[in-house]
Chains A and B, each alone.
Chain A
């Protein structure tokens, strides 16, 4: 008897297993049934050793309150844009060379010669715009719906950190093509950081890898852009989503529960 069972209420009727006709042979008969049995075995084997199914069920079969609408897809769309950036970024990293003498040529190689290079670079470039727009829209949704209020305060704070990190991604990524626009915008940007109080000068020295724009500045931006900040973003998205699943997404604020449904002890 397999231990992992798909909870029946969520499966549409057409997909539910049909009961065997009385009198048919015991055991799996058709190859399709055999394959299904094999699949269940594998899942069982993994689950017996990891107990993943509990967490998965907790995440996937939790209830979403009534009235949830399209505005609630903005968060996951942001996450999807981030994943798209990660994938296209990996392909760009296969060709990119973060040295001041070769960076520009490597990007030109990507655009002119690499297979689908211009397309992938375009996706990465415009994906950043899409992601920034989606972050702001998602933030506006949670703001106007009052979703930052008790008990979701912490999720708002994590969200603001994600917003800042997203902007940091676009700032560090802007330098990498190393064309005129990239270079001069970054010089000015770093200088602006430098005018800040207390940490300002240290921050711009850290970004430049020294008191002036030098040979290692580019590789420093590259490391920040492709390892430090994305790592932080991925970790914070994990925390953000954990809290969303734990606390549940808000219902639209003007919605009231219609009837007093009786609640189980563990749902309150």
Chain B
């Protein structure tokens, strides 16, 4: 906006304002009505949906799917879509940071005098596309299967009981939160833990079992699992021991 457009806007606005109504009581009345509706919606949601409390946090038995609040689903989905490890920091921090900067600076790069949405085709289209993209990503995030899944085919030479054990181990590993820190094949986070895709090349199964029992911090110990449900623990070791 140049100086002339600014002055024109201010003049036009002063006139519209002079022809308007006082804030109190006219705008206050609408605002209060809206406040009552807001409160009513919150109260109804509280009564209908309640406030459930899940099982107590337990850092050792980790058969739990980390799931954020629904309005973070779209961020979460960006994370899932961008898989290659070298791009992960870009997905987690790069894209959101860029969006935030673009949002902050909006008034400084969109300086046109026009305010009607139908005459600002670029801004309006970008806005609508953003809304659709976020809605779509939220929808995907809501319907995503457990983020703790390992998409991996069993080694072809496995048969019978060994195959069952391998599959069982894959399930236990997937549900144990390992992927929060490790990468296995296409799944999981890139760090802080090392990549497990071919862990058995460097570590024999016995060493893997030992690490699961006495890990270096911050990894949780699976000692309790080994004592309470040894068959699950053995399946885990069998699965990890097959990753070559």
Q: List the interface of chain A (C-beta within 8 A of B).
A: 9-10, 59-68, 70, 72-74, 76-77, 80-81, 84, 100, 104, 107-108, 111, 118-119, 121-123, 125-130, 132-134, 140, 143-153, 156-157, 160, 163-164, 167, 170-171, 174, 177-185, 187-189, 191-197, 200, 211-213, 248, 250-251, 253-258, 260-261, 263, 267-268
13 contacts between A and B (CB under 8 A): A60-B24, A68-B20, A125-B51, A126-B46, A129-B45, A132-B71, A145-B117, A148-B110, A150-B9, A160-B104, A181-B64, A191-B192, A211-B218
With contacts A72-B30, A180-B54 known, what are 8 further pairs, Cβ within 8 A? A144-B124, A153-B107, A171-B72, A178-B57, A183-B57, A194-B192, A248-B13, A263-B14
B4 in contact (CB, < 8 A): no
Q: Which 7 A-B pairs have the closest CB atoms?
A: A122-B46, A146-B115, A183-B57, A253-B115, A196-B93, A153-B107, A257-B15
- CA A128 – CA B68 in complex, angstroms? 14
How far apart are the CA atoms of A261 and B21 in the complex, in Å?
15
* Complex alpha-carbon distance, A218 and B68, angstroms: 17
B100 touches A164 (CB 8 A): yes
Q: Which residues of B contact A61 (CB under 8 A)?
A: 22-24
Q: Give B contacts to A, CB under 8 Å.
A: 1, 6, 9-28, 30-31, 33-35, 37-39, 41-43, 45-47, 49-51, 53-59, 62, 64-72, 79, 88-89, 92-94, 97, 100, 103-104, 106-108, 110-117, 120, 123-124, 127, 131, 177, 180-181, 189-192, 217-218
Contact B17 A65 (CB under 8 A): yes
Residues of B within 8 A of A60 (CB): 22-24, 28
B113: chain A residues within 8 A (beta carbon): 149
**Selected contact of A195 from candidates B28, B53, B92, B218, CB within 8 Å:** B92
A contact residues around B50 at 8 Å (CB)? 118, 122
On whether the beta carbons of B93 and A197 are closer than 8 Å, the reply is: yes
Q: Does A130 contact B20, Cβ atoms closer than 8 Å? A: no
List chain B residues, Cβ under 8 A from A251. 13, 16-17, 20
Other-chain residue from B20, B35, B115 in contact with A65 (beta carbon distance below 8 A): B20
Number of A-B contacts defined by CB within 8 Å: 267
Closest to A189 in B: B68
Q: Which residues of B contact A189 (CB under 8 A)?
A: 68
Indicate if the CB atoms of B11 and A187 lie closer than 8 Å: no
B105 CB to nearest chain A CB (Å): 8
Residue pair A188, B20 in contact (C-beta under 8 Å): no
Q: Are A73's CB and B56's CB within 8 A? A: no
- Of B15, B26, B55, most buried by chain A (CB within 10 Å of CB) is B15
Complex Cα distance, B108 from A250, in Å, reads 18
Q: Which residue of B lies closest to A155 (CB)?
A: B107
Nearest residue, chain A, Cβ from B104: A160
Q: What residues of B have a CB within 8 angstroms of the CB of A148 in the complex?
A: 106-107, 110
Given known contacts A62-B22, A76-B34, A130-B45, A191 and B114 CB-to-CB distance under 8 angstroms: no
What separation, in Å, do the CA atoms of A99 and B45 have in the docked complex? 29
Minimum CB distance partner of B219 in chain A: A212
Given known contacts A66-B20, A178-B56, A253 and B103 CB-to-CB distance under 8 angstroms = no
**Selected contact of A263 from candidates B18, B58, B89, CB within 8 Å:** B18
Q: How far is the CA of A253 from the CA of B6 in the complex (A)?
A: 15
Q: Are A255 and B16 in contact (CB under 8 A)?
A: yes
B51 touching A180, Cβ below 8 Å: no
Q: Which residue of A lies closest to B50 (CB)?
A: A122
